[in-house]
Chain A
Amino acid sequence: MAMMTMIQAINDAMRVEMERDENIIVLGEDVGVNGGVFRATDGLQKQFGKDRVFDTPLAESGIVGTAVAMAALGMRPIAEVQFGGFVYECMDQICTQAARLRFRTGGRFQVPMVIRTPYGGGAKTPEMHADSFEAYFMHTPGIKVVFPSTPYDAKGLLIAAIRDNDPVLFYENMPLYRSVRQEVPEEAYVVPIGKANVVKEGADVTVIAYGNMVRLSEQAIAQVEKERGVTVELIDLRTISPLDMDTIFDSVDKTGRVVVVHEAIRTGGVGAEIIARINEERILKLEAPCVRVTAPDTPYPPALVEDKWLPSKGRIVAGIKKVLDF
């Protein structure tokens, strides 16, 4: 075991997998010599050479599109899109090509590729960097969407993503990159995609979150539990597509009260989908209407306003109290 930040765990996941399988390559902007703008790929080109780790031209559609073909022909590319806000540049290659190639060839081709991208508010990035666009991809059949919230999960989920025979969009939260250290095994291990994690058990309310919102929810839960003498269950989704509804339903059966927290905007989001499914299958178990704590429906705001715009500990506390007090 070693103490690692999330960025170190991500780097380590790629390293141990690349040592195992020479068909794994890394491509993206600045990922080679520079080791990535966040240093996620630091040292990989040095270790594996320029024929495994590529500084590509500055073109997201080219990065993802070339990776699609290489993956279909037997490689296992890990493509980096430098910031999550840039995914529109390669939306077509992700949604109409990577996610659909298995389908549109009747299962003949598979696209075992990972698209890693940093996202998330709080880092005071310029416009179009921090956005949480995951709902588009949850709405796209054929691609899995993963959100690690800890260094341990980041390594295990990234290894699972690399080994997956379907394309995986791997969202890395920028503020989480270096803010938390955790014991992480040095060898390879897998945290399965599609399986949520019950971070903390509780009996009265279920809080569902992912990415950085897990940490914020923990803080909010501690406050509410102290103030109200209740216990709150916290589910870290880890994967938003496919959703682990079994874990969610088990929790709803127990608590009957649900708060979904995400930093993406509200309409048509992950929360909407989860709540729709709860309504379809667990409506009679509910003691209160489900609540969403999200960003409001505007484009991502300028840096100095983001903290007021993103879900806060206080807003999550209010959300939990709302379902308790109904």
Chain B
Amino acid sequence: MQNVFPMRQILDTEGKIVEGQIPPELSDEKLKHLYRWMFRLRVYDALSIKLNRQGRLGFYAPLGGQEACQIGAAAALRKTDWIFPSYRDLGASMYHGWPIAGTYKWSRGQIDGMKIPEDVNLFPPQIIIAQQTIHAAGAGWKFRLKNEDHVALTFFGDGATSEGDFHEGLNFAAVMKAQTIFFNQNNGYAISVPLEQQTNSETIAQKAIAYGMKGIRIDGNDIFAVYQTVSEAAERARRGEGPTLIEAITYRLGPHSMSGDDPTRYRPQTEEEEWKEGKDPVKRFRLYLEAQGLWSQEWEAELEKEMKAEISAAINEVQRAPIGEVDELMEFVFEEMPADLKKQQEEVRSWKGAAE
């Protein structure tokens, strides 16, 4: 199946255009914009891990190594398109418009962290694996029904492809000709379980055949392959030609989450080194830009300084912000608070002091 679904690569690991491939038509400004964002995620990831270890952040699922997937895919969309992310996709979510401070409130568990700004077309990070694939199918179906020119893109990992909901989501999308893109970040492991124990299929892309949809396998650490493939899938969807399953091969350089996961228990150090040194998405893009005269040490230093300042401002703002009160929670369970919940709200207010 690997020959039926060869891995599409445009930018090789040395930062050179693969022979016979044409990079997407992007202005110098856009190229720098993409790099800036990938680099911002690299800084965000490193600092978020640090903040988590300091106890200043809560749940965090490292995204380092997957920057090309998240930025390439999100950048190929319009702001009017919808993204249905999982918890590892804060990078794409920020690119689409969720402020850093918002992601930190969400991570820490402050009540207003649940609220993504109204003008950002983003669902909240999905925790239950693969449920968002069905939501993306529903959204893409709705866009077709209402003749809306939008696309729904959902991110999910390799483990998600084992879930029943993945099957239901892809099947529905294909049958209903939904304007949906299923973007699989195949990073090789679902926490500790490797892909070969997850599926007996040689590739994830080939699963598209069973659903009668377009499937494609790409180098997920190649920003050009990701951007180009998602752009094409979005165009197809907007033309009413149905959904696409994209398998993007990538690697999570860090642990699954910051809650005690130790990757040395389940994957060889040499493998991590190989991905970190040889296949890194940021490094590869930097080499390309450098050869084009679009990258300099000074610019990167500036970007780093800028992102560190933004993160520092964000975490300070978030830590100063109120975490929220239990009685507020009752306000958005239903549109109108039922009488008994109102009663419980009054009871909660009477706890003051006693709850500590």
- How far apart are the CA atoms of A246 and B172 in the complex, in Å? 44
Q: Which chain A residue shows the least CB distance to B115? A: A106
- How far apart are the CA atoms of A165 and B171 in the complex, in Å? 28
- How far apart are the CA atoms of A105 and B137 in the complex, in Å? 20
Q: How many residues of A contact B (CB 8 A)?
A: 43
Q: Which chain A residue shows the least CB distance to B112? A: A106
- How far apart are the CA atoms of A67 and B176 in the complex, in Å? 13
Neighbour of B142 across the interface among A69, A92, A104, A243, CB < 8 A = A69
Neighbour of A59 across the interface among B82, B152, B172, B340, CB < 8 A = B172
- How far apart are the CA atoms of A108 and B331 in the complex, in Å? 12
Q: Which chain B residue shows the least CB distance to A67? A: B138
B135 interfacial by beta-carbon distance below 8 Å: yes
- How far apart are the CA atoms of A67 and B136 in the complex, in Å? 11
B240 interfacial by beta-carbon distance below 8 Å: no
Q: Which chain B residue shows the least CB distance to A166? A: B334
B118 interfacial by beta-carbon distance below 8 Å: yes
Query: Please, which residues of chain B bring their CB within 8 A of the CB of A185?
Result: none
Query: Please, which residues of chain A bring their CB within 8 A of the CB of B164?
Result: 61
Neighbour of B340 across the interface among A73, A97, A164, A242, CB < 8 A = A242
Q: Which of B163-217 contact A (CB under 8 A)?
A: 164-165, 167-169, 171-172, 175-176
B115 touches A65 (CB 8 A): no
Query: Please, which residues of chain A bring their CB within 8 A of the CB of B139?
Result: 69-70, 73
B339 touches A105 (CB 8 A): no
Query: Please, which residues of chain A bring their CB within 8 A of the CB of B168?
Result: 57, 59, 61-62, 65
A73 touches B142 (CB 8 A): yes
B134 touches A242 (CB 8 A): no
Query: Please, which residues of chain A bring their CB within 8 A of the CB of B25?
Result: none
Q: B residues within 8 Å of A by Cβ? A: 82, 84, 111-112, 114-116, 118, 123-124, 127-128, 131, 134-139, 141-142, 145, 152, 164-165, 167-169, 171-172, 175-176, 329, 331-335, 338-341
Q: Can you list 23 contacts pairing A with B, beta carbon distance less than 8 Å?
A: A51-B145, A62-B134, A62-B168, A62-B172, A65-B134, A65-B168, A69-B137, A69-B142, A70-B138, A70-B142, A72-B123, A73-B142, A74-B142, A75-B142, A92-B165, A102-B332, A102-B334, A103-B329, A107-B331, A142-B334, A165-B335, A242-B338, A277-B340
Q: A residues within 8 Å of B by Cβ? A: 25, 51, 54, 56-57, 59, 61-62, 65-70, 72-75, 92-93, 96-97, 102-110, 141-142, 144, 164-166, 194, 242-243, 245-246, 277
Known: A61-B165, A62-B134, A93-B131. 18 other contacts (CB 8 A): A57-B175, A61-B164, A62-B137, A66-B176, A69-B137, A69-B138, A73-B142, A102-B334, A105-B114, A105-B115, A105-B123, A106-B115, A141-B341, A164-B335, A166-B335, A194-B338, A243-B340, A245-B340
